């Protein structure tokens, strides 16, 4: 029987050097990243991480164990993969999309569990910025005699957990801004109600994006004009609807609106000034709405978004999808709070009466890095990275 290579020898400092990447590493890490997507948006404050245990007994590598962070965040992916692999984990390689944790909580560190299971080599993707980990997981593995190869497909893995990474590195949730643009570059008609820009295939993709975020945010103007549901309506995925946040500093939302009437089935939060109407607050609270106090930016008089995002991060929210109108989008962009930008170009035309967006595809191409471009039905999606997290 052949097993994976022995750990790299310790240097003079007593710490092992990182082992080099192997030809098969990217193939298995790509599979692990795809598997991690299974629970994105459903693991609480913990990220959705995947682990694959791969063994080679002379007939080629095979997966003998797999795990993904459980719903709610516990147990971690490593525990599930090791349990499935059993004794086959001894001498095998573990592919982990995030550096294994090194701190003691309700369960022992995952790095310690990998060592005890006899894993010979760990290949990790993204680094964990949590100060309780932040390199300590790798050091714990190497101190236990495990060879470590790090940063394999780091950027790709980071995209699946960018909200978690942003929350630790910047103290706020990761923000994705999505806007649908007509063929003539408009996003709606002011006072004209909801304007249908995209088709059914593209709409289904929008609901999938919603399911992968902790919360969806719109402004009071959008809520009042469109009376949206802001949920996930893919078959069988209603339970993956994100929490709803209405940015409504002067509390114009009424208890008769859809977001209020359904607040007991889908968590709904309104960000409002402390001076807003107490009677309306009481009526909305009776419907199941919760509130977060926000403050005004001294310069503009609008909601201070950086402070609001800090407060939302404190509630455990790690990722927010902003689907508001032009003013909300412009504010988030101006404050440098957008990490991902999704622009969807539809086939319809709105005309000169339409609302001009704060930026179009051409402007986004010149300012941000295009991650991917897709076609869904008659619509074209452009996915940009505005802020890099690795």
Strand boundaries in the chain, DSSP class E? 50-56, 61-68, 93-98, 121-126, 147-149, 174-181, 215-219, 243-247, 268-272, 290-293, 319-322, 340-345, 369-376, 379-385
The pLDDT tens digits for 10-29 are 333 334 589 999 999 999 99
**Measured distance CA(21)–CA(39) in Å, rounded:** 27
What is residue 320's predicted lDDT score, i.e. its pLDDT?
97
Catalytic residue among 59, 78, 84, 225: 78
- Residue 7, pLDDT > 60, answer no
**Measured distance CA(321)–CA(251) in Å, rounded:** 21
What is residue 73's predicted lDDT score, i.e. its pLDDT?
85
pLDDT band at 251 (very low <50, low <70, confident <90, very high): very high
The arithmetic mean of pLDDT across residues 59-66, rounded, is 96
Pick the CATH number of 25-160 from 3.40.50.300, 3.40.50.620, 3.40.190.10, 3.40.140.10: 3.40.140.10
The pLDDT tens digits for 73-90 are 889 999 999 999 999 999
**Measured distance CA(250)–CA(267) in Å, rounded:** 20
Who has greater pLDDT, 3 or 119?
119
- Residue 53, pLDDT > 70, answer yes
**Measured distance CA(101)–CA(137) in Å, rounded:** 5
Domain boundaries, the chain: 25-160, 165-385
**How many other CB atoms are found less than 10 A from the CB of residue 34?**
13
Q: Which of 347, 344, 330, 336 is nearest to 374 (CA)?
A: 344
What is residue 89's predicted lDDT score, i.e. its pLDDT?
98
**How many other CB atoms are found less than 10 A from the CB of residue 376?**
17
**CATH code for the domain defined by 165-385:** 3.40.430.10
- Residue 5, pLDDT > 50, answer no
- Residue 308, pLDDT > 50, answer yes
The arithmetic mean of pLDDT across residues 155-164, rounded, is 94
What is residue 101's predicted lDDT score, i.e. its pLDDT?
93
What is residue 15's predicted lDDT score, i.e. its pLDDT?
46
The arithmetic mean of pLDDT across residues 47-52, rounded, is 97
Active site residue 78: yes
The pLDDT tens digits for 168-206 are 999 999 999 999 999 999 998 876 666 889 999 999 999
């Amino acid at each position: 029987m052949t097993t994976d290579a022995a750990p790299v020898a310790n240097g003079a400092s007593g710490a092992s050097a990182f082992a080099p990447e192997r030809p098969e590493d990217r193939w298995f890490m790509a599979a692990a990243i795809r598997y991690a997507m299974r629970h994105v948006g459903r693991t609480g404050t913990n990220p959705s991480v995947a682990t694959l245990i791969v063994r080679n007994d002379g007939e080629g590598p095979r997966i003998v164990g797999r795990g993904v962070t459980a719903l709610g965040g516990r147990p971690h992916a490593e525990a599930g993969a090791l349990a499935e692999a059993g004794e086959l984990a001894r001498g095998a390689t573990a592919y982990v999309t995030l550096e294994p944790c090194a701190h003691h909580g309700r369960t022992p560190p995952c790095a310690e569990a990998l060592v005890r299971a006899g894993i010979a080599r760990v290949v990790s993707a993204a680094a964990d910025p949590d100060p309780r980990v932040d390199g300590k997981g790798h050091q714990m593995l190497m101190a236990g005699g495990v060879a470590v190869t790090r940063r394999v497909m780091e950027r790709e893995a980071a995209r699946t957990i960018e909200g978690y990474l942003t929350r630790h590195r910047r103290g706020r949730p990761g923000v994705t801004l999505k806007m649908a643009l007509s063929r003539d570059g408009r996003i709606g008609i002011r006072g004209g109600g909801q304007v249908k820009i995209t088709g059914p295939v593209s709409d289904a993709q929008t609901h999938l994006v919603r399911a992968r975020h902790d919360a969806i945010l719109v402004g009071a103007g959008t809520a009042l004009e469109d009376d949206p549901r802001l949920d996930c309506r893919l078959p069988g995925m209603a339970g993956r609807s994100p929490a709803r946040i209405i940015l409504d500093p002067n509390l114009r939302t009424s208890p008769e609106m859809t977001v209020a009437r359904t607040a007991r089935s889908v968590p709904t939060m309104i960000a409002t000034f402390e001076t807003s109407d107490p009677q309306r607050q009481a009526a909305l609270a009776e419907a199941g709405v919760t509130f977060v106090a926000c403050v005004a930016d001294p310069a503009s008089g609008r909601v201070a978004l950086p402070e609001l995002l800090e407060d939302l991060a404190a509630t455990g929210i790690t990722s927010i999808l902003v689907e508001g109108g032009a003013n909300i989008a412009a504010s988030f962009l101006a404050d440098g709070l957008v990490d991902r930008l999704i622009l969807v170009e539809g086939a319809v035309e709105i005309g000169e009466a339409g609302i001009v967006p704060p930026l179009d595809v051409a402007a986004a191409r010149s300012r941000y890095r295009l991650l991917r471009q897709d076609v869904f039905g008659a619509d074209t999606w452009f996915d940009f990275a505005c802020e890099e997290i690795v």
